[in-house]
Chains A and B, each alone.
Chain A
Amino acid sequence: MSDGASTESIPLYVKQPKIYPREIKGRFARLRVIAVWVLLGLYYVLPWININGQQIVLFDLVNRQFHIFGITLWPQDLIILSLLLAMAALTLFFFTALAGRLWCGYACPQTVWTEVFLWLERFAEGRRNKRMRLDQGPWNREKIARKSAKQFLWITFALWTGFTFVGFFVPIRDLGMRTLEFNLGGWETFWLFFYAFATYGNAGYLREQVCKYMCPYARFQSAMFDDDSLVISYDVNRGEPRGPRKKTADRAELGLGDCIDCLGCVQVCPTGIDIRDGLQIECIACAACIDVCDDVMDRMGYPRGLIRYTTENAMAGKPTRILRPRIFIYLAALLALATLVGLVLTGREPLLVDVLRDRTALHRVTDQALENPYTLKLSNRTDRDLAVRIDVQSQALTGLRIIEPTGPVVIAPSEVANQPLTIGLPIEQAQTGMHEITITATDAAGNVLNETETRFFIPARALE
């Protein structure tokens, strides 16, 4: 990529000082630690939980069914999945309008995994000042040892994350066994490393740059915000004029506000901003600056809350309204969607039929007939046995008949039966080409349970 005739070099990474967020203790830091444990706990543990021999959350792409907490979703249930995603988006809008960027500070995978990578980094390389000294210092034995230790921890954790990710799509216990035997399929291996690498890069190196340059939410959140949304803000009136002073000094006498300009809020900020400059798009509302400032205020003997969760209205001395039209609109839409999901879930088809063509032989010719073999995947979604009769119709071909199965197929509740299906056509009726046919499944009482389209293949060479 050339940028004109100039010889300017373009740096590979964003030119800005590397951010070394300082470690913090406090109310909100504790909340985040809890969020990290709960969310990552769910991520790493859920796939290992089985109920009645069924992995509790499994997006089984190979068999085209999603198992989510005892509910099985099929491709035909795409609408439910879409509705659930719409609900997730609306929930995000709702909480954003109510409490600002809660998502960013406590629940976003970027934040949560970055937090863990920071813990690992701190464990291997030490606290903020030590890390900065280590980076500036020469590559001596200690630096090599500490950096290698960090990489080892990061890579191990990232690989485990990638493994778990694949475990949401392929039964994880089996996947685990095969990983130990170095017997993974190509695609499994690929996605394991792909996700591991994404975690390693995003949480280890890109960090706040993902929020600043890559995150769409940071850009459109202003659409959900209003003057009553919770934001993190520095109280300018109380803080200014800022300046250092002795703990014993009388700030009124010195003409100073409450901010002692210790830069604590700047040092802890994971995105490297100064909250005292006002509302900024970079702020992920992690509240680290609140924790550190409260601590300083305690030590100075000043009241807490120089930096605090507040609203623009409150800052302007106006009342804050929590219950406002925006909140009710989001809530109403959420309720409507939830109702819709419930309705769709309860009104699903009793039998699903999936017709798969035989992979090895598309057709075969017997004495009198040309046959196409298929495999039927019959999924019984009711809680009773179904005796299913299979029929075939076609507008283009006459004389089609079912050769196998010969009678009704009985399928147990929630069972997915793989039933070989052979359809035959008398040779004299055959016309070259792919022909649309319809497979009909009826129950014992003659009710049509399902109709599925597929194709009947007659190659030219079969008729020679």
Chain B
Amino acid sequence: MTRADLEIPPRPLAQRLGAILWPSFFAAGVAAMVFFAIVDPLMLRDVTFPDLEMSRMAGYTIGFFLFWAATAASSLFTWLLLRPASRFNRRMPS
């Protein structure tokens, strides 16, 4: 039996996307909830960009998506590290 026989075939795109986006969505939701329970987005605005016109809702939404971007990047990284070498290796064109 060769190594290639032991390879797991690539998972479908939807499954890969799901495995990256969904856990990170979940983690971002929890993080945003805890963060904004303690920090008022308007006060955060005051100490960072006091001149910015921003509503609380906008603050929550931006915050959530920032968290999601971070957690999704981490999930994506994990996925890259777990990919077998054979997904990257290729023959030189001859």
Residues of chain A touching chain B, judged by Cβ–Cβ distance below 8 Å, are 1, 3-5, 8, 10-15, 61-62, 64, 75, 78, 81, 185-188, 190-191, 209, 213-214, 216, 354, 356-357, 359, 362, 434, 455, 457
Contact = CB atoms under 8 A, between A and B. Distances in A.
A208 to B, nearest CB: 13
Contacts of A457: 50
A61 B57 contact: yes
Contact of B40 (A64, A81, A214): A64
Contacts of A354: 40
Nearest to A78: B37
A12 B14 contact: yes
A15 B46 contact: no
B19 A213 contact: yes
Interface residues of B, number: 33
Contacts of A216: 23, 26
Contacts of B10: 3, 8, 10
Given A357-B50, A362-B50, A455-B47, A4 B23 contact: no
Nearest to A81: B37
Contacts of A187: 55, 57-58, 60-61
Interface in B31-63: 34, 36-38, 40, 42-43, 46-47, 50, 53, 55-58, 60-61
Interface string B1-37: 0000000001011110011001100100000001011
Contacts of B58: 186-187
A1 B10 CA distance: 12
A5 B12 contact: no
Contacts of A359: 53
Given A13-B12, A213-B15, A62 B57 contact: yes
A5 B42 contact: no
A274 B8 CA distance: 24
Contacts of B89: 4
Contacts of B42: 356-357
Given A8-B10, A209-B14, 20 more contacts: A1-B13, A4-B86, A4-B87, A5-B90, A11-B12, A12-B13, A14-B12, A14-B14, A15-B12, A61-B36, A75-B37, A186-B58, A187-B61, A209-B18, A213-B19, A356-B42, A357-B42, A357-B43, A359-B53, A457-B50
A459 B68 CA distance: 35
Given A78-B38, A187-B61, A64 B23 contact: no
Contacts of A10: 10, 12-13
B57 A185 contact: yes
A291 to B, nearest CB: 30
A362 to B, nearest CB: 6
Given A14-B12, A78-B37, A190-B61, A214 B50 contact: no
Contacts of B38: 75, 78
A457 B51 CA distance: 13
B45 to A, nearest CB: 9
A78 B34 contact: yes
A92 to B, nearest CB: 15
A457 B50 CA distance: 10
Contact of B56 (A12, A15, A62): A62
Nearest to A6: B90
B57 A213 contact: no
Contacts of B37: 75, 78, 81
Contacts of B90: 4-5
Contacts of A213: 15, 18-19
B18 A214 contact: yes
A357 B90 CA distance: 59
Nearest to A191: B61
22 contacts: A3-B10, A3-B87, A5-B90, A11-B12, A12-B12, A13-B14, A14-B14, A14-B15, A64-B40, A75-B37, A78-B38, A81-B37, A185-B57, A187-B55, A187-B57, A209-B18, A216-B26, A356-B42, A356-B43, A357-B42, A357-B46, A455-B46
A198 to B, nearest CB: 10
B49 to A, nearest CB: 12
Nearest to B62: A187
B3 to A, nearest CB: 14
A61 B56 contact: yes
Nearest to A360: B53
Contacts of A8: 10
A191 B89 CA distance: 42
A334 B6 CA distance: 46
B85 to A, nearest CB: 10
A62 B57 CA distance: 6
Given A75-B37, A354-B40, A4 B46 contact: no
Q: Which 8 A-B residue pairings sit nearest by Cβ, starting from the closest?
A: A5-B90, A78-B37, A187-B57, A214-B22, A357-B46, A4-B90, A14-B12, A13-B14
Contacts of B61: 187, 190-191
Nearest to B53: A359
Interface string B58-92: 10110000000000000000000000001111110
A313 to B, nearest CB: 34
A11 B13 contact: yes
